[in-house]
Amino acid sequence: MNSLILPPGFILIIGGLLLPLFSAKLKPLAAIIFPLLSLMMVWLVTPEHNLLIDFLDYELSMLHYTAEGRIFATVFCLAAGIGALYAIKHARTLELSAAFVYAGSAIGVTFSGDLISLFIFWEIMAIGSTLVIWANSRENPLAVGASMRYLLVHLLGGVILMIGITAHIANTGSSEIVAMKADSFATWLILIGFLVNAGAPPLSSWIADAYPEASPSGTVFLSAFTTKTAVFALLMCFPGETVLIYIGLYMVFYGIIYALLENDMRRILAYSIVNQVGFMVVAIGIGSELALNGAAAHAFAHIIYKGLLLMSAGSVLLMTGKRKCTDLGGLFQTMPTTAINGIIGALAISAVPLTSGFVTKSLETSAAADAAMPVVWFLLVAASAGVFLHAGIKFPWFVFFQKDSGLRPPDPPWNMRLAMWIMSGLCIIIGIAPALIYGILPYALDYEPYTADHVVTQMQLLLFAGFAFFVLLSLMRRTLTISLDLDWFYRKLIPNAVTKLQSVYEGVMPPLMQYLKQFSQRRFEHLFAIHGPQGIFARTWPSASMVIWVAVLLAASMILYYIEL
């Protein structure tokens, strides 16, 4: 091991723990420097570097280089640094510290060479992300409950993952991270543990439940790490696992449907995260080199444009205090910077040519076509139109245009505007020069996104989706509704059932217990009367009486003896 190379994730974890010790003047500077140092270390690590730690009978590898890990770690560092720039003026120190520990542990996962190290960072990540949500409890009391539900879901996923890893090590004798198949109890549990963090069914709703309750900057951090770390883990451990195709397609359309039904702008974008991760899960299930490149590239681009969209939505929330589409509209008049950047993010997520989404998502659809999966290809293309409907048009239209809400807030502070411009720049630069991202993908790639056929097909699809949106605009307008999801069972049905049972218990049990008490008392008194000190079976007999009875019995026996003779 080269002693000059510190694991990149450790830098952010240590930085997050030290951040509260910095003065108010140095804290913003430190919040930018730590992610930059981590990014530098990411690109200094080579396959020759390693950090081995003895743990029980195993050797943990916490600095293991892979091309997949480097691309994910790179974008994690960018998200942490730009997110910190966006947050430095309004985020609590607790949030920033937790976000750095969260980001550092996500980077730790990408450099883990064994399942035990991965699990350790996985659980630290759950703690850090929970604190990011909880840190907004002063401004939003709902954040406390959301953070607890979030933690319970991830503790459940962590327990499942831990059992799977333990069983896998017991079966194979190795904790090394390698490609595996879901063909045993252990590997199925590992797969399920990863899918919980990816937002797969049936627990997809935790993303839309928890993320919108964090602060404007907290939601940006949350969108970057948990689900994409799960994508990385699936890519490394389960490439080509066919079941992931079907799970991913469910996630794709689940996210579209719920985003179209939603009225809360940040919940729209939260459901969109499930939708976008679904594309990546499908690509991992296809498993070809082109598909795996597509999943990695899409994850990279998604962290940037989804962070940009949530920065735009967070700026609106910060400046207006409102988050429902029915309360917003016409904000482009006084928030032009926020509107422009929100539109750029919407174009990128919709895969409009010259944006990052166009040059990355097309790898996944092309992989489905190359793998002779026409149904999967058709569904992914159709889903692209749905993405344009909910994130590409619905979000910017109802927030910045449609009716005039009468709100006249200014654009957010300079640091938030600068963070949005940087994200927008990255979306456009990657779209114009895709070689920047193609060159760091895990596998050699010879792919040209800007063919006439691809550009024309994509524009036709987007124009058709846009036409459909405005034709059906009266149906697209949201009202004050509640969208029920599977979390209704454990958030409403089960607690209400427990409350009902408790009320029944309180009505039935006291009389029942009183009856049992009286019955037991009567039985006790009866037994005491018979067997107690004065009971019939406890009385003592005088000696004279015993002599008489002995004589009587002796006489009776003699009489019977003579009768027999």
My answer on whether 180 and 285 are in the same domain is: no
pLDDT tens column, 184-235 = 999 999 999 999 999 998 888 899 999 999 999 999 999 999 999 999 999 9
Kindly tell me if the per-residue pLDDT of 535 is higher than 80: no
Over residues 139-161, the pLDDT tens digits come to: 999 999 999 999 999 999 999 99
Confidence of residue 483 (pLDDT cuts 50, 70, 90): confident
Residue 486 included in any domain = no
Tell whether the model's pLDDT for residue 504 goes beyond 90: no
- Give the count of alpha carbons within 13 A of 260, CB side only: 19
Domain range for 195? 1-233
From CA 186, how far away is CA 170, in angstroms rounded? 9
Mean pLDDT of the chain: 89
Q: How many residues does the chain have?
A: 565
Mean pLDDT of 495-521: 80
Residue 43 placed within a domain: yes
Q: Tell me, yes or no, whether 135 lies in a domain.
A: yes
Does 557 share its domain with 462? Answer: no
Query: Does residue 483 lie within any of the structural domains?
Result: no
Domain end residue (candidates: 478, 502, 529): 478
Residues 410 and 535 in one domain: no
Domain membership of residue 484 (yes or no) is no
* Last residue within a domain, chosen from 198, 233, 268: 233
Task: Give percent of the chain with pLDDT exceeding 90.
Answer: 63
226 and 248 fall within a common domain: no
**Separation of alpha carbons 165 and 169, rounded Å:** 6
Q: What is the DSSP letter of 469?
A: H
pLDDT of residue 552: 82
Query: Residue 163: pLDDT above 50?
Result: yes
Q: In terms of domains, do 505 and 468 share one?
A: no
Per cent of the chain over pLDDT 70 is 94
Top-confidence residue, 13 or 52: 13
**Following DSSP, what letter does each residue of 177-216 receive, concatenated?**
-----S-SHHHHHHHHHHHHHHT-TTSTTHHHHHGGGS-H
Q: Tell me, yes or no, whether 171 and 246 share the same domain.
A: no
Query: pLDDT grade, residue 541 (50/70/90)?
Result: low
Establish how many alpha carbons lie within 13 A of residue 161's alpha carbon, considering only the half-sphere containing its beta carbon: 26
| Whether 223 and 209 share a structural domain | yes
Domain finish residue from 202, 233, 264 = 233
Same domain, 12 and 40: yes
Per-residue pLDDT band for 1 (boundaries 50, 70, 90) equals very low
Q: Could you tell me if residue 267 is inside a domain?
A: yes
550 compared with 226, residue with greater pLDDT: 226
Strand 58-61 versus strand 52-55 pairing type: antiparallel
Buried b (16+ CB within 10 A) or exposed e, 349-364: bbbbbebbbbbbbbbb
Which residue, 424, 374, 384, 353, is CA-closest to 275? Answer: 384
Q: For the chain, how are helix, strand and coil distributed in percent, rounded to 5?
A: 75, 0, 25
| Position 546 pLDDT exceeds 80 | no
How many domains are contained in the chain? 3
Q: What average pLDDT score do residues 119-130 get?
A: 95
Residues 3 and 100 placed together within one structural domain of the fold: yes
Q: In the predicted model, what is the mean pLDDT of residues 470-489?
A: 71
Same domain? For 523 and 455 the reply is: no
Same structural domain, 526 and 497: yes
Residue 68 lies in a domain: yes
User: Does residue 167 share a domain with residue 31?
Assistant: yes
Determine, yes or no, domain membership for 90. Answer: yes
